[in-house]
Amino acid sequence: MTSFAGWQMPLRYASETAEHQAVRRAAGLFDLSHMGEILVSGPAAGPALDYALTGHLSALRPGRARYTMICAEDGGVLDDLVVYRQDEDKFLVIANAANTDVVLASLRDRAYGHDARVSDATGDYALIAIQGPEAAGILAPLAGGLDLAAIKYYAGAFGEVAGRKAWVARTGYTGEDGFEVFCRPEDAEPIWSALARQGAPAGLVPAGLAARDTLRLEAGMPLYGNELGPDVTPFEAGLGRVVKFDKPGEFVGREALAARAASGPVKHLVGLTIQSRRIARHGYPVLADGRTCGAVTSGAPSPTLGVPIAMAYLEPGEGNRPQAGEGDHVLAVGIRGEAVPAHVEDLPFYRRRQLR
């Protein structure tokens, strides 16, 4: 166990590599009850979120979800979020645990003047995720009243899991198909145990934070505090698509984000494969001809690729992939005083077959 944002979290249950591989090959079970849940409701809940966030949430159909961000006036990212529209006037906003208080306060401030209520619902939910190619088959027999095939990627529905009421969403942070089960805290243990029993014959194992980090890194998914933060706009992270300039009305950070979109990012995010068994950790310098041109944001061994991988921010123009036939673009990472060669890679490192 490890301390994280005021919670005691499972770093690993047994072998983090085995947990990672189980998610890629079968399924893993994650306790994500540390995530923040914020309920935004009322007749103007959609317009309030349109103003508060970068996305066009009022255009979201009930039962659908959207990945979005909440930015400061200067365009810096305060958090990346998943927002579920559970009903016409009810949205569930999922925040990172360490940022829940900031997101809650910002949403309350930005909802002022709208006919909308913002409430902290974190204590009302536990969150269990089942991720992997066998996830749907394991969950289906326990999902009363739900047609899992009808729940598309980034969608959700109310139903039951193991006889307990839940909001079941087809989202995740591993690069695999899977579901997240939002339930009452008192129902978490029965749901977890039922999924563990149902999934054991298919190869499901419980998985901790360490495996979750290597899975999301292979999938090129950003982590707040590493790839995202108040000194970064969505455009540096290659996520400018979440900024919807064409939605009606103003939103917080619009002017600064429009200026950044016009001028281009001040740095850009790339993938690296390390040509060594050594790991490029957060903060290690990236070198071009011996000169520092960037810094590693996340790094770990990749159980799927069999080599260490990393994400890094580089100066504009550095690390651009060469034209076909010119060979690999090679930089280096400074690892304990040694310049270790690193190849620039397109993100994500790993991509599963697209859901139908």
Which pLDDT does position 355 carry in this prediction? 40
Query: Strand pairing partners for 287?
Result: 292, 332
- Spatial neighbors of 72 by CB under 8 A, at least 6 apart, are 78, 230, 252, 253
pTM equals 0.95
The pair of three-digit structure tokens given for residue 91, joined into one six-digit string: 């949205």
The predicted structure's pLDDT at residue 328: 60
C-alpha count within 13 angstroms, C-beta hemisphere, residue 214: 27
- For 331, residues 6+ apart whose C-beta sits below 8 A from its C-beta are 272, 286, 287, 288, 293, 314, 318, 319, 341, 342, 344
Average pLDDT over residues 276-284: 97
- 240 phi and psi, to 5 degrees? -60, -20
CATH 2.40.30.110 positions along the chain are: 267-356
Can you tell me the distance from the alpha carbon of 189 to that of 195, in angstroms, rounded to the nearest whole number? 10
Q: How far apart are CA 204 and CA 19, in angstroms?
A: 9
How would you classify the pairing of strands 28-31 and 205-206? parallel
pLDDT score of 103: 98
More confidently predicted of 145 and 104: 104
Residue 283 has pLDDT above 60, yes or no: yes
Tokens representing 210? 């360490």
pLDDT in tens, 293-335: 999 999 999 999 999 999 999 999 887 655 444 446 789 999 9
pLDDT number for residue 321: 54
- Output the average pLDDT for the chain: 95
Q: Which CATH number does the domain 2-216 belong to among 3.40.50.1970, 3.40.309.10, 3.20.20.140, 3.30.1360.120? A: 3.30.1360.120
Contact 135, 171 (CB under 8 A): no
- pLDDT at residue 319, as a whole number: 73
What string of H, E and C letters represents the secondary structure of the chain? CEEECCEEECCCCCCHHHHHHHHHHCCEEEECCCCEEEEEECCCHHHHHHHHCCCCHHHCCCCEEEEEEEECCCCCEEEEEEEEEEECCEEEEEECHHHHHHHHHHHHHHCCCCCCEEEECHHHCEEEEEECCCHHHHHHHHCCCCCHHHCCCCEEEEEEECCEEEEEECCCCCCCCEEEEEECHHHHHHHHHHHHHHHHHHCCEECCHHHHHHHHHHCCCCCECCCECCCCCCCCCCCHHHCCCCCCCCCCCHHHHHHHHHHCCCCEEEEEEECCCCCCCCCCEEEECCEEEEEEEEEEECCCCCCEEEEEEECCCCCCCCCCCCCCCEEEEEECCEEEEEEEECCCCCCCCCCC
- Segment 232-244, tens digit of pLDDT: 999 999 999 999 9
Over range 66-84, report the average pLDDT: 98
pLDDT at 354 over 80: no
At 142-188, the pLDDT tens digits run 998 899 999 999 999 999 999 999 999 999 999 999 999 999 999 99
- Residue range(s) occupied by CATH 3.30.1360.120 in the chain: 2-216
- Reported as a single tens digit per residue, the pLDDT across 58-69 is 999 999 999 999
In Å, how far are 51, 215, 251 from 72, measured between CA atoms? Answer: 12, 29, 10
- How many residues in total does the chain contain? 356
Q: What is the pLDDT of residue 22?
A: 98
CA atoms within 13 A on the CB side of 303: 18
Amino acid 311: pLDDT:
98
The pLDDT, as a whole number, for residue 285 is 98
User: Cα(308)–Cα(75) distance, rounded to whole angstroms?
Assistant: 32
**Fold classified for 267-356:** Elongation Factor Tu (Ef-tu); domain 3 (2.40.30)
Half-sphere exposure in the Cβ direction for 213 (13 Å, CA): 22
| Residue type at position 312 | A
Distance CA 45, CA 86 (A): 12
